[in-house]
Amino acid sequence: MFWAQCGATFMWVRTPWTIANEQVWNATHRFAARTLFAGGLAGLTLVLMGASFWLSMAAILAASLAPVAYSLILYKQLERRGEL
């Protein structure tokens, strides 16, 4: 969270709908920060517990793809409400 507060960014969720709307961009990246942190923590925990490497990679992959789905859903909701 410290890096997000300082403005340092290392990863972006660049999809057509996040680029089209600043509100979607901001909400998506706040969501992505939480899901990527949780996915990394889950992956590390799984590896330390002796779980399969592929299971930990699946947790990280799910955490990486969740923000993309979230951004599309948020964009479509705003589009339906006429807020775009």
pLDDT of residue 80: 95
CA–CA separation, 32 vs 17, rounded Å?
A: 15
Helix (H, G, I), strand (E, B) or coil at 76: helix
Give me the pLDDT at residue 14, please: 86
pTM of the complete model: 0.80
Q: Looking at residue 27, what is its pLDDT?
A: 95
- Mean pLDDT of successive 10-residue stretches along the chain, which has 84 residues: 51 85 93 93 92 91 94 95 88
Measured CA distances, 84 to 12, 20, 74, 75 (Å): 21, 9, 11, 8
Confidence at residue 10, expressed as pLDDT on a 0 to 100 scale: 59
